[in-house]
Chains A and B, each alone.
Chain A
């Protein structure tokens, strides 16, 4: 089994005077083919975990390896490149760039990679087709429903063919129909080479994953394989 992402004794401490542990001595492996949810109440350290898994933040102690590369050893620019290559983000608030079309938003993830514009557009178009939005390519975010915007965000996350798709409450801003639709897409994103990680406080969403990591007070308190449990 290929380990895509590895947290080893990771702590994240905020504050200078009195240290506040947001994450305390966490070790976790995300493997290729994982469909994993990280669940916990607010304040359990989910967001901190997401920032660290997404290479948006650095641990106070411990090591994080993405594809075998020690993230802490990289400078900011190299970390940006690694992030762009390895991780696709999906956020609760979609975070589409309002002045760009759906296609433009997806293309944003392909910038500065030495791709020519027609190739960028072709790949972005393919990603949009994969989430069923080929016909919406020229629409701006304001012209689309929440569910559609989230699907554009998913297209943006997968267009770079990342090792890990990292989703933060991806259904949090959606009604139940759209939420189900989005979760279905996440199911489809699963592949033997890729890991899908969903951070959520919604147990329903968490239970749709094959593996559930539970958190409380900055620590991992459970790591269940639901696939076998369901079976």
Chain B
């Protein structure tokens, strides 16, 4: 143990005596590890905000739309569609909306022409829709059982529409749907996973049937699955809804697209990783080269160490340890540098920092392995030097 400490001291003093040379050959592992940490960190951080958003939204929402076999031009779900999907074990909750055709919503008098040309979608919505979407009601409240039972002409606006109408929080406001006035009771928060809902007007099932003469059958269903079984749930929905009929239900997991776009640019990442590996390899050659020259330059030191009784193994280990220190320190500095670069650039670019801390030890070990491998040849060379030849006697 004592002699290991002595060996470490000897190797360290050999390195610290030649600081500039040591720093220069340390650049290989430093640049290599920094490049790898930076490459992965920057490509991941560039998508960090999307990843954060994904984590917030959850990836377990499935959106189902009916196929054409259920109706003609405007296919709809069967009336008991929500009960049907609840038979799937992994379904936690479900809600539907029904698009009501031919309704013109007017926020104010005198805007008829504009809103006739660009009609606002009006949807009959389930009472549980916000909870299934996990979207808050920003202002007022959502449609309630009392609205249904009391046959109230109440609407909730999508957040985008509320903004467009200039609706103020808590304002008493009515909008006209065809020829009926409806009171605005609330504003639904932004629905990131189905932005179309942000521009819709939501009414109760009662209003759909009473005022607009529709059957109120849903043409869109939102299903929350148990965590981790989103794909299975999505796959089961067509069967559960069609009940053995032809599978004419289309399902999508909206976060799939988001997930795909949150994936770091792999080509870029791999290119940069490769560049890092290359820097390590070139750095390794540099270490081997400089250390080989160093062994020649220090042959007198090697000779005298052998003369005072240091064995070949000790002399070889001394040089190998120098290489090990270079790899170790270079890896550490490189990792710190890489992390600093990721933080710096992310701060400038406004990214959410993502650093692969779990992979940093792997890259550092790689730098260490490359350095030790590079130091092997010079170390063996040092150990094999004959003291008689290096000391130039007589």
Query: Using Cβ atoms and an 8 Å threshold, which residues of chain A touch B301?
Result: 97-98
Of the listed residues A46, A51, A156, the one surrounded by the most CB atoms of chain B closer than 10 A to its CB is A51
Say how far A224's CB is from chain B's closest CB, in angstroms.
21
Q: A50 and B311 in contact (CB under 8 A), knowing A99-B13, A112-B3, A116-B2?
A: no
B311 in contact with A168 (CB, 8 Å): no
> Quick one: closest A residue to B18, CB to CB?
A99
Q: Which of B64-72, B254-262, B384-392 lies on the face that meets chain A?
A: B384-392
A91 in contact with B6 (CB, 8 Å): no
Is B104 an interface residue when CB atoms closer than 8 A count as contact?
A: no
| Cα A89 to Cα B387 with chains together (Å) | 12
Say how far A150's CB is from chain B's closest CB, in angstroms.
14
A77 in contact with B13 (CB, 8 Å): no
Is B180 an interface residue when CB atoms closer than 8 A count as contact?
A: no
Is A15 an interface residue when CB atoms closer than 8 A count as contact?
A: no
Is B54 an interface residue when CB atoms closer than 8 A count as contact?
A: no
Of the listed residues B6, B9, B13, B14, the one surrounded by the most CB atoms of chain A closer than 10 A to its CB is B6
B308 in contact with A50 (CB, 8 Å): no
Query: Using Cβ atoms and an 8 Å threshold, which residues of chain A touch B10?
Result: 111
| Cα A47 to Cα B307 with chains together (Å) | 15
Chain A interface, >50% SS class: loop
Is B228 an interface residue when CB atoms closer than 8 A count as contact?
A: no
> Quick one: closest A residue to B4, CB to CB?
A112
Chain B interface, >50% SS class: helix
B394 contact from A77, A95, A169, Cβ within 8 A: A169
Is A104 an interface residue when CB atoms closer than 8 A count as contact?
A: yes
Is B313 an interface residue when CB atoms closer than 8 A count as contact?
A: yes
Query: Using Cβ atoms and an 8 Å threshold, which residues of chain A touch B311?
Result: 76-77, 80-81, 112
B304 in contact with A47 (CB, 8 Å): no
B300 in contact with A46 (CB, 8 Å): no
B309 in contact with A199 (CB, 8 Å): no
Query: Using Cβ atoms and an 8 Å threshold, which residues of chain A touch B314?
Result: 112
Is A109 an interface residue when CB atoms closer than 8 A count as contact?
A: yes
Is B359 an interface residue when CB atoms closer than 8 A count as contact?
A: no
Query: Using Cβ atoms and an 8 Å threshold, which residues of chain B touch A50?
Result: 393-394
Q: Please give the number of chain A residues whose Cβ is less than 8 angstroms from any Cβ of chain B in the complex.
A: 40
Query: Using Cβ atoms and an 8 Å threshold, which residues of chain B touch A95?
Result: 300, 303-304, 307, 391
> Quick one: closest A residue to B2, CB to CB?
A114
Say how far B321's CB is from chain A's closest CB, in angstroms.
13
Is A83 an interface residue when CB atoms closer than 8 A count as contact?
A: yes
A89 in contact with B13 (CB, 8 Å): no
A56 in contact with B394 (CB, 8 Å): no
B306 in contact with A80 (CB, 8 Å): yes
Query: Using Cβ atoms and an 8 Å threshold, which residues of chain B touch A116?
Result: 2
B388 in contact with A56 (CB, 8 Å): yes
Chain B contact patch, size range? 20 to 34
Per-residue 0/1 for A148-176: is the Cβ within 8 Å of any B Cβ (1 yes, 0 no)?
00000000100010000000110000000
Query: Using Cβ atoms and an 8 Å threshold, which residues of chain B touch A85?
Result: 309
A57 in contact with B388 (CB, 8 Å): yes
Say how far A127's CB is from chain B's closest CB, in angstroms.
13
Is B146 an interface residue when CB atoms closer than 8 A count as contact?
A: no
Is B86 an interface residue when CB atoms closer than 8 A count as contact?
A: no
Is B87 an interface residue when CB atoms closer than 8 A count as contact?
A: no
- Give the contacts of B145-189 with A (CB-CB under 8 A): none
| Cα A95 to Cα B387 with chains together (Å) | 12
| Cα A77 to Cα B314 with chains together (Å) | 10
Is A218 an interface residue when CB atoms closer than 8 A count as contact?
A: no
Is B381 an interface residue when CB atoms closer than 8 A count as contact?
A: no
> Quick one: closest B residue to A42, CB to CB?
B394
Q: A168 and B312 in contact (CB under 8 A), knowing A95-B304, A97-B304?
A: no
| Cα A112 to Cα B336 with chains together (Å) | 35
A114 in contact with B309 (CB, 8 Å): no
| Cα A81 to Cα B314 with chains together (Å) | 11
Query: Using Cβ atoms and an 8 Å threshold, which residues of chain B touch A112?
Result: 3, 6-7, 309-311, 314
13 A-B pairs besides A77-B312, A99-B14, A160-B308 with CB distance below 8 A are A47-B394, A51-B393, A54-B307, A77-B313, A80-B310, A80-B311, A83-B307, A83-B309, A89-B307, A97-B304, A111-B310, A112-B309, A168-B393
What would be 23 A-B contacts, judged by CB atoms less than 8 Å apart? A42-B394, A51-B388, A54-B307, A57-B388, A76-B311, A77-B313, A80-B311, A83-B308, A93-B392, A95-B300, A95-B307, A98-B17, A100-B17, A104-B13, A112-B3, A112-B310, A112-B311, A114-B2, A114-B3, A169-B394, A199-B393, A199-B394, A201-B394
State the A residues within 8 Å of B (CB).
Answer: 42, 46-47, 50-51, 54, 56-57, 76-77, 80-81, 83-85, 89, 91-93, 95-100, 104, 108-109, 111-112, 114-117, 156, 160, 168-169, 199, 201
State the B residues within 8 Å of A (CB).
Answer: 2-3, 6-7, 9-10, 13-14, 17-18, 300-301, 303-314, 386-388, 391-394
